[in-house]
Structure 1
Amino acid sequence: MSLVALVLFLVAVGSASAELTDDCLACMCYVSSQGCQMPSPVCTAAGVCGPWGITQPYWLDGGELMDDFYECVADWQCNEDTVRAYMDKYVPSPDATCEDYARTHVGGPFGQDADYATEYWYAVKDCLDFGFFTPPP
């Protein structure tokens, strides 16, 4: 019986994704909103909203929290929860790094290798390396 439990545990651990660290998340916010601030207005004309710069399709993929896009992007916790849910969906690797999360955040599930995703990652890496971030409220 214990062998079955061990096998189930190993399968569960092997299928778990790596944790998105608070420092990585804070630096993604810092880079996305020039200092991890709630923008005013909350959305740009291009439909990029909140401190993590999420769009409506991103919010949909992140679970449609609060059932209203504009209410969610104006709420700090809903923004963070949306980003975490999006990462859980699109970065399933147990070996994921902050680079994987940052590139997916800005590039989406199919744009992690785009030039703009690389530039975004370098900005997030600078934030991590030099401690530019302040954790969100």
Structure 2
Amino acid sequence: MASLNLPSFKFSVWFFVCFFSVIMIIQGAKYVSNLSPLCMKCLCHASTSCNASFGCSRGYCGPFFIPRQYWMDSGKVTLPDDDPDRDNAFSDCSRDYVCSQRIVENYMAKWGMDCNRDGVTDCNDYAALHFYGKDECEKSLSSTNFGRRYVTCNPSAGISL
């Protein structure tokens, strides 16, 4: 039976964790369990049919239809080299698909929860959290236009909203 070299194993695990962390920092991405690219596309579709040219309307901006408070709760994500305190930083970022996706990722990383209390935090929860916000995400999406669009692309098909 071969013996396990514990110091070497600990170093390997430590190295892997550090390497993965550096890669995530360099890419500026957040890892959010079950927030897949398909789920992100579905949230975008449910918000505005993923209209990349959607400006701002009634205080909501961009393809993910993001309100200012959501942006603030996500950490005031901005376009590269922008100042979050600049007057148009919110609208400029939220109207840019890549930047608005980072807003959503940050929001979900910070506030993600099992909104429908089914024991799993998945795209259904992220959809409710995105639409209703962190304080009311337990509400059903079924009677909303967002919810009707969401079910057409729901990556967790078969799970009720």
| TM above 0.5 | yes
The higher relative CO (CA closer than 8 Å, separation ≥ 6) is in 1
Query: 1:111 and 1:23 mapped to 2: Cα distance?
Result: 24
Q: In the alignment, which residue of structure 1 is the partner of 2:135? A: 110
Classify 1:121/1:99 alpha carbon distance in 2 versus 1 (closer, same or farther; 3 Å).
Answer: farther
Asked if 1:25 is matched to 2:46, the reply is no
Q: Is the 8 A contact 2:62 2:94 kept in 1?
A: yes
Q: Is the 8 A contact 2:34 2:123 kept in 1?
A: no
Identity %: 27
Query: 2:129 and 2:63 mapped to 1: Cα distance?
Result: 16
Larger radius of gyration between Structure 1 and Structure 2: 2
Q: In the alignment, which residue of structure 2 is the partner of 1:133? A: none
Q: In the alignment, which residue of structure 2 is the partner of 1:13? A: none
Q: In the alignment, which residue of structure 1 is the partner of 2:50? A: 36
Q: Is the 8 A contact 1:48 1:54 kept in 2?
A: yes
- In the superposition, the TM-score normalised over structure 2's length comes to 0.61
Query: 2:112 and 2:41 mapped to 1: Cα distance?
Result: 18
Asked if 1:123 is matched to 2:136, the reply is no
Aligned-pair Cα RMSD in Å: 2.9
Q: In the alignment, which residue of structure 1 is the partner of 2:108? A: 87
* Per-residue Cα deviation, 1:4-39 (whole angstroms, up to 9, x for no partner): x7xxx9xxxxxx952301111101101111x21124
Q: In the alignment, which residue of structure 2 is the partner of 1:60? A: 72
- In the superposition, the TM-score normalised over structure 1's length comes to 0.71
Query: 1:75 and 1:69 mapped to 2: Cα distance?
Result: 10
